[in-house]
Amino acid sequence: MSDIRVLLVDDHPVVRAGLRAMLADFPGVTVVAEAANGDAALVELSRLQTLGEPVDLVLMDLQMGSGMDGVTATEKIKAGEGGNPPPPVLILTTYDTDADILAAVEAGASGYMLKDAPPDQIRQAVLSAAAGQTALAPEVAARLMGRIRNPSPALSGREVQLLELLATGMSNRAMAKQLFISEATVKTHLVHIYSKLGVDNRTAAIAVATQRRIIRGH
């Protein structure tokens, strides 16, 4: 059986070097190309396919300093824009906020690992994802489990989106413009968010959402 052919996507040369070194120690895995962002990744994907050297797995960061972000790139890859058939996408990133995980999974990612994971965990994830299985970091899996077991009122995708804008300090009007909806709708969403989070104003909502890692607090 031939090696798993991996495409690395990360905007940090240091991280790419680390993954390259790490994957070199895994038997059965070969890094065939690298890219610094989503745009470059799509280019690499189709380039490799036209060469008859398809990629078996994309290992990608979510946050990219410049160019297309990981979620968008994942969507495009899964839509077949990088050449068919689309390879599994394994997300390897720094943060484990609900919003990030949800977005990645919805975009079609096959796995979600954290960069502080030990090499062995990363190895397992790479092999699983390449084999078409789902690979979630224990922390991530636990979070999703807790979310299912706990009837903690789940925020809808739109509500999380609102929360994220909220945390940047935008007013209702600004959010309405940004999302192309009316202020009335923004207010409706906010009321729902407040009741689900058990708070009664926007700042408290941000505090709780940040604490529960629903959104990122950096």
Partner DNA sequence: CCGGCGATCATCCAAATGGTTGATTCCCGC
Partner DNA sequence: GCGGGAATCAACCATTTGGATGATCGCCGG
Residue 187 contact partner, candidates a copy of itself, DNA, none, CB within 5 to 8 A by sort of partner: DNA
Say if CB 186 and CB 158 are below 8 A apart: no
CA distance 9 to 64: 9
Residue 165 beta carbon to DNA: minimum distance, rounded to whole angstroms:
11
Say if CB 63 and CB 94 are below 8 A apart: yes
The site for a copy of itself (CB under 8 A) is made up of 11-22, 65, 92, 94-95, 115-119, 122, 166-171, 199, 201-208, 210-211, 217-218
Nearest to 89 by CA among 35, 164, 155, 17: 35
Token representation of residue 127 = 């092999």
Residue 116 or 200 with smaller CB distance to DNA: 200
Residue 95 beta carbon to DNA: minimum distance, rounded to whole angstroms:
22
With residues binned 3-state (H G I as helix, E B as strand, rest as coil), the percentages for the chain, rounded to 5, are 50, 15, 35
Residue 65 contact partner, candidates DNA, a copy of itself, none, CB within 5 to 8 A by sort of partner: a copy of itself
- Angle formed by the axes of helices 172-179 and 183-197, to 10°? 110
Residue 48 or 172 with smaller CB distance to a copy of itself: 172
The site for DNA (CB under 7 A) is made up of 154, 156-159, 171-173, 176, 179, 181-182, 184-185, 187-191, 194, 200-203
Residue 111 beta carbon to DNA: minimum distance, rounded to whole angstroms:
23
Helix (H) / strand (E) element for 207: namely helix 202-211
Residue 167 contact partner, candidates DNA, a copy of itself, none, CB within 5 to 8 A by sort of partner: a copy of itself
